[in-house]
Amino acid sequence: MYNQNVIVTLDVGLHARPAAYFVREASRFSSEIYVIKGTAKVNAKSIMGVMSLAVNKGTEITIEATGRDEQEAVERLVEIVQEKS
């Protein structure tokens, strides 16, 4: 398992289009990937799950992956939530 805590810096947070892009990128990896906010843990490959977290700019989340490409997956998804809009 590989995980990383990150502060979301996207201006609109992880909603709508950014969430769809995040899920699409997560789906490229074979690892099981989760997004954790507080006590909630959702599948990063599920648009409904990711959007249900209501992640706003400035929110701290953890991205966690288990599998063959776990580190690459987490690092790529961290890049996405830290992009400047």
Instruction: Provide the token pair at 76.
Output: 């790529």
Q: What is the DSSP letter of 46?
A: -
Half-sphere exposure of 22 (CA within 13 A, CB side): 31
pTM for the structure as a whole: 0.94
Domains of the chain listed by start with CATH number: 2-81 (3.30.1340.10)
Point out the residues that are catalytic.
15
Q: How many CB atoms lie within 10 A of CB 77?
A: 23
Q: What is the pLDDT along the chain (85 residues), one digit of tens a residue?
A: 999 999 999 999 999 899 999 999 999 999 999 999 999 999 999 999 999 999 999 999 999 999 999 999 999 999 999 986 5
Pairwise CA distance, residues 23 & 57, whole Å? 18
Residue with tokens 């074979």: 30
Q: What pLDDT score was predicted for residue 33?
A: 98
Residue with tokens 């959702």: 42
Q: What pLDDT score was predicted for residue 19?
A: 96
